[in-house]
Structure 1
Amino acid sequence: DTPFARLSRGMKRALTVAAALIHRPRLIFLDEPTVGLDVVSARGLRALIGRLREEGVTIFLTTHYMEEAERLADRVALLVQGGVVALDTVENLKACVQRGATVEAHLASAMGEERLRFHGESVEAALHIALAHAKAEGKRMVALNTLQPTLEDAFIQLTGLSAEVMLAEKGGR
């Protein structure tokens, strides 16, 4: 009995998506569907999108959240200022940055713990660099993870954009 205007943003979003799905369409357009949603609502909506995808529904999804696109999309178009920079599967886009290997080392000292990333031609080379750094700094390596490239890594490499560049282009805002 609550008027639509008085619903929370999450409830409005859920109601809008539910209304769009009533007729069981084969094609859906979702523009930034999880923006402004709380964690639980966003997770629920992503699960629903995943189920629809598994049922064969075609979904055009726009999002600034690369993790969301990586998890939900079969194909991704990377856009910069309205133009398509790259269009491919998530795996193929990530393969563009699969040169060498990156490890994340957790280093400890009396001053505390820090996480640093090291890149090399191979995992062994990256590990060697991490160990040399730890030794030079007098720190102890307490954990080490190999990192796989993400869609965000691919976006940055393929577009040449970084947070610093984007801020500069927007006038430092």
Structure 2
Amino acid sequence: MNSTDDKYWADYQSAGFSYSPRSGVHHYIEPDPSGQTTGVFPFAQPAGFVTAHNPGGPPIAKEVNDARHRELEAAVAALGHKFFLAQGGRHGRAHQETGLLILDVSPQFVNEMGVRFGQAAIYIWSATEFLLEACGGRDERKRSCSQGWKVNDISE
């Protein structure tokens, strides 16, 4: 990880993501430092959140981020993985990054997608934990942070 990644690591530990499994239903998944899990984990296997926005940390043009997101979506779809569109960040905060919640995948696959799209970290959500993991090749410390999680229903 470079110094930009270090700057954001604490923010990553308190951020989550939101997704809509069907029209009118929105869930915000946030980490719980106590290690407790609150809510229902709705999938058979772990799911991973990754974005293609703002590689390396600093914001880039919306048009570039949108194009990078389309590339990520196409890459994941081409490999046959199911996913939901998702928004990463803290709910209610101005800065959110569009990404994908990829279903039934290994942490290694999500990490590889993060590396491919220049990300510092990815999230893995399972029945037992909310894992923040530094993307391989960018962090010689191989940082990770395992926490519990909460599912919050939100309205738009």
Do the two structures share a fold, i.e. TM-score over 0.5?
Answer: no
Structure possessing the higher radius of gyration over alpha carbons? 1
TM-score, normalising length from structure 2? 0.27
Q: Which has the higher strand share?
A: 2
Higher relative contact order (CA 8 A, sep 6+): 2
TM-score, normalising length from structure 1? 0.25
Q: Which has the higher helix share?
A: 1
